[in-house]
Chain A
Amino acid sequence: MRLIQLLKKELAHEAREWVDESIITHEQGQAILAKYGESLDNDANKTSFGYYLLMALGSLFIGLALILIISHNWDEIPSLVKTGVLILLTATTNLIGLRLYLTNRYQAANIWVFFGAISYGASIMLIAQIYHLGEHYPDGIYWWALGVLPLVLLTRSRLLSLLMLALATIWLCVEVGEAFFPSSYPVFLLSALFLALYCRSTPTIFVFSLFALLVWLNLALAWLMGSGIHYEPFGDLLPFSLALGLVFNGLAWALMRTSNPTWREYGLVLHLWLLRVSVVTLLILSFEGIWHEYSSESDMSLVLSIAALITGGVISWSLSARNSRYASMPAVLFSLCFSICFIAQAYFSSGDMIAAVTINFLLLVLGISLIRRGIEQDETQYFYTGVVALLATAFVRYFDLIGDYLGGALLFLIAASIMMLAARYWRLRGQTELGGRTDEA
């Protein structure tokens, strides 16, 4: 899977020029773009998309103005009139949307239904204001998101889907802030995932939903540890999250193998985000102090977390083994290194240092592997990520020494040796392959 998948719009633009300049035929242009789920004719929608976006933002601003106007005229308008106007506005905007769908004006219909969804939410909040409802206020946001959900599934509108996800996520935050558990949050995420996978191309929604699911699972585990009545975050949330990250990595590679261009794009976007997140996570875990503060709650939860890490690694490996060694090897390596870290930290007196050193070497291996992958596959993204990972490791280790000055110097020397040996091995292998090819020729 090449990064060009993410530049398919630019590729389509270039291909149109190649066709215009008769460098390639129209059929060839179509055949090239079809590989990436694009077409020579898609550009016609560009202007209407701009119109669509501005109209949608306009609807949002009208919705915000609506809340402010009615809030301002608090005393002047009778309660019943205010409530009636709000319900009537919600009904009217939605019915206009329905009528536009029935007359095949889909973009305008989407805008009106979106405006209807804003009116609906504003109505919930304002009715609560009018009648001084002091009940658990996140419920208002929840009912807003829930009311938008069927419209998302029916209209398959990305705009409504983003609104629903934003509302559901705000609800998650305020619900957690009020010390309650947002048990039905995955319903919104799964609906958004359904839309992304089966109805519309929306990589942002796809990746957001998966990362949000990871956050929710962490909250669920903390809630369960608090006997299901309060949150009790515990140390072993970290290995469980890392295990899920490994599974997501396998999923990304599996998606990149599919024949569906949209799913391939999703896989690539997910893979790139996981790569960035993993570099940052490893850099954080590379500090000895982090491991010193980390503590596992009990032997049983440690065993379960190690089991989760190994299971995550195996699932990731089995999902990615058919792609290439660049895909499957990190799964095994990460799973193994993380397991070593958590076991060492729990059972050895110098466990903090063992864990920090292990993560530092994992960073080195990741950096070297990314540089090599970048050069072999002609992908600058991987090459520079690898360089950044190695430079960042050197930078943070220079200021935060593991095992004092001599320990730090030793770490740098070992790291330098590994990199030089990797470079030497790479060069020798390249010469062997070149020789082999020459012989064959």
Chain B
Amino acid sequence: MADPAQNPVRQRNLLSVLGLIVIAALFVAVVVLSNQLFRSSQVDLTEDGLYTLSKGTKEVLQGIDEPITLRFYYSSRIAEELPDIGVYAQRVRDMLEEYARIAGGKVRLEIHDPQPFTDEEDLAVAVGLQGVPIDQGGDLVYFGLAGTNSTDQQQIIPFFDQKREAFLEYDLTRLVYNLAHPKKPVAAVISGLPVSGSPYAKSVPGAPDDSWAVWGQLKELFDVRELPMTNAVIPDDANLLLLIHPDKIDDRTRYAIDQFALKGGRVVVLIDPHSEVQASDPQMRRGPSPNIVAASNLPKLLKAWGLEMPPGDVIGDAKLARRVQVPTQGPVKTRVAAIDYPLWLALGPEEMSQQDLVTSQLSLLNLASPGHLDPEKGATTTFTPLLWTSAEGGKGDLSLAQQGSTQILEQTNTFKPDGKYTLAARIRGPVKSAFPDGPPKPPMIDQLEKAIANAKEGEDTAKKKAELDAETKKWDAAKAAHIAESKAPLNAIVVADVDFLADGLWVRVQDFFGKKIAAPYADNGNLLVNATENLSGSDALISLRSRGVFQRPFTYIQAIQRKAEQDFRQKEQELVRELNQAEASLKKLQTQVKGDSGVVLSQQQKDEIARFREKAVGLRRELRDVQYKLRKDVEQVTDWVKLINIAAVPVLVAVFALVLALVRRNMRRHANRAA
């Protein structure tokens, strides 16, 4: 065998092959090393820094006192079967590692890959993680997080749903925050809406939980105590009072709220001149339909706090109107029309205060027939608007709103914009009691007094007198404890809408293998959570809550649609009027003909009927054409967009190539001739 060293070609080949192997090894080494070394080196080019840990997260992580353990369960099989989720899992893992790094040893991260039928899988199931079948074999995979603190309290994310990717940081930080602050603040809630679930679901064991998504969010953040609408006693340890649609509240509860606020308590008030949720639910509405009364207000308290919500006004906005589908009963059969309904508002950042932590990071809020708030003259508090309409806001007709969805078209047609309205406000400052005479007289005293006065002769009223004495003493004590002026400035946030809390306006709740997964598409839930959290004193989480719920819609196409829709409505109204007139005339003529013994029609009558029929047919056609044009305007834009992006530049390149070829040919000819 020849020695390769003696054959220069073979030696060169061998060296080259070795060189290739070294290059491959070097490449793999560089990739592996960089994966280890550069875990937190990235430039985030997204407008809102979607992938950069926010200040709030860093504050939470640096403020941890007792160590926290995070166990990240991730079945590596997911990446093999579902590469998309694999990429997401890598992001989750990177983020968790970043958390551990920033927390400086206070967060310990463990990574587990639970294989089927192992102890690790049992552990994952035991902590409450959600196993998901990935193939027909029935093996389960896991992609979740379990965190524990030093007192063995546990918080979990059962399965990282990719739909919540934009909220990943919030979900993780909240989990860490909850573990670092195991004692939740107390929120007292008085609600006229079934936010915590319907009475049926609450009373029947085993009935599905139908609480609203926002309720779940509140319960994660607060120790929630539900209070009745009447005779409510606000617990001493309550950090916050939340009033949702207080429509049947009594004077004693009002007094309790007044005194709570004066003691420096924090209050979130949600009221509404017309709650669509209540009006549309036969279980909830208080009156027969139509003319449903579904309003709530706190005029006495609000007046004392320096603001009011005029009860008869429902606010709409032509510019912020949401598009809804409504069946219209026109002369051209029933059709489903998409119209901009001014009483359903989609507020963008321009309609939210960018200076206030509660609203500055929200991108979209959906409200339904809200009211408006006005500051009182000479108020001692500051009134800071948080949400408002555009300049095209206006008052809608409350009576039409009360009619419900059947009147949407009428509502749309009668709506007249007349300026900006405040829809939510922050109230701060010293206030006086709304009850200058002290606590209201307990009704029990009146009852007892009446009973004693009306007692028949010889009847023993001693027991009643004793009761009256006791009640009077209690009242006297309450009078003595009465606070007439605020001890600490009032801190309240008032929103003139309650419907925004309902799931239908902001979140899709899906059943994911038996677990409820909420995928919000608007910030409604965040508004309430921000408001409650802000008032209960924890600002750190607010800065990162609403990252990334962006809809970046094609605003240009929307504007065209809106314009076309307006034109269509106008034209439709004109044509329908004409058509109705024509049809009425035709009907009249036909009745007349039948009435005139109806056997022979005069030529004139026949001509007249034919003319009306023709007119009616023509008008119907015109109406169809207008309707067709509505879609055509948008189609035209999209056709242009397609043409420009698919064909325009290729055609230009082809023309350029052709011109270049011709120029070259000419140059060659000239060169040949010259030669």
Specify whether A and B are partners. Answer: no
What is the interface of chain B, defined by CB distance below 8 A to chain A? Answer: none
